[in-house]
Structure 1
Amino acid sequence: MPRILAIDYGIKRTGIAVTDEMQMIAFGLTTTPSDTVISFLKDYFTKEKVTLVLVGEPKQMDGTPSQSAEIINAFVALFHTTFPTIPVERVDERFTSKMAFQTMIDSGLTKKQRQNKALVDEIAATIMLQDYLHYKK
């Protein structure tokens, strides 16, 4: 069965998570500079079959788009142009970064380790994907 991939796109860094082949478990794949994410995905898609890509949709508490929505919408448009056969589903990403940081604390990471913003982005993508899998069932 093909995998599902989640993208937590940011201005500088993009966290990426993926499911196992049975689409039961989400795990962090990597964090890549946002300006190289398309080339990373091109390479990844040649190695792995992906049936769906989730992209975080940033919203304010009242449900309106956040400041970064325009940048992420541009990324989604580029993704559609580059990978027209791979469907994209937008998912609410509110609180994923805070949840990722709390996960790092709960995991016993040191303060220095918790300052690794790339790890926060990767964990946020993983949380987004795991929530999707839970909701899908």
Structure 2
Amino acid sequence: MGKLLAFDIGERRTGIAESDPMKIIASPVGYVETSTLLDWLTSHLSNNEVETLVVGKPIRMHGVPSDVETFISELIVKVQSAHPNLSIEREDERFTSRMAQRAMIDGGMKKQKRKEKGMVDQISAVLILQSFMNRGPSF
């Protein structure tokens, strides 16, 4: 049984998180430029057993998908084409960026570190994955 991998996909950067083998705890992996995401995933899958990919679904407060959803959906089609055996799930990512910012502040992270590109993205990916795992065993 493989781990779970999560993406918080943006047009520029994608935050990445993965589960522990027991699928209890989500941890940050880092971030990549979204333009290189498919190559990164292919490399990662060749060295790691991943059971399911969880991709954040950006939804506005009133339930309508955000503008970036079309971009994400097109990227998911490319991932499915390149990796047809990889299960892909979606998870609501409302408020994850705000929660990531709050977690960094509450955790005592220095302002300079919080400004690093990709920091919010990878913490958001952790929140997306943890939310997915907390919903129960659909994986």
TM-score computed with the length of structure 2 as normaliser: 0.95
Counterpart of 2:7, as a letter, is I
Counterpart in the other structure of 1:113: 113
Pairwise CA distance, 1:18: 0.3
Which residues in structure 2 correspond to 1:1-137 (within 5 Å)? 1-136=1-136
Does 108-117 or 16-25 show the bigger shift?
Answer: 108-117
CA RMSD of aligned residues (A): 0.9
Separation in structure 1 between the aligned mates of residue 60 and residue 117 of structure 2, nearest angstrom = 21
Separation in structure 1 between the aligned mates of residue 112 and residue 24 of structure 2, nearest angstrom = 32
Pairwise CA distance, 1:35: 0.5
Pairwise CA distance, 1:117: 3.2
Identity %: 36
Give the secondary structure class of the aligned counterpart of 1:136: coil
Give the secondary structure class of the aligned counterpart of 1:31: strand
Pairwise CA distance, 1:72: 0.6
Separation in structure 2 between the aligned mates of residue 55 and residue 123 of structure 1, nearest angstrom = 14
Counterpart of 1:30, as a letter, is G
TM-score computed with the length of structure 1 as normaliser: 0.97
- How many residues align? The count is 137
Q: Which runs of 4+ in 1 moved over 3 A?
A: none
Separation in structure 2 between the aligned mates of residue 61 and residue 82 of structure 1, nearest angstrom = 33
Separation in structure 2 between the aligned mates of residue 23 and residue 110 of structure 1, nearest angstrom = 30
Note the alpha carbon deviations across 1:34-53, whole angstroms, 9 max, x for none.
Answer: 01111111111011111100
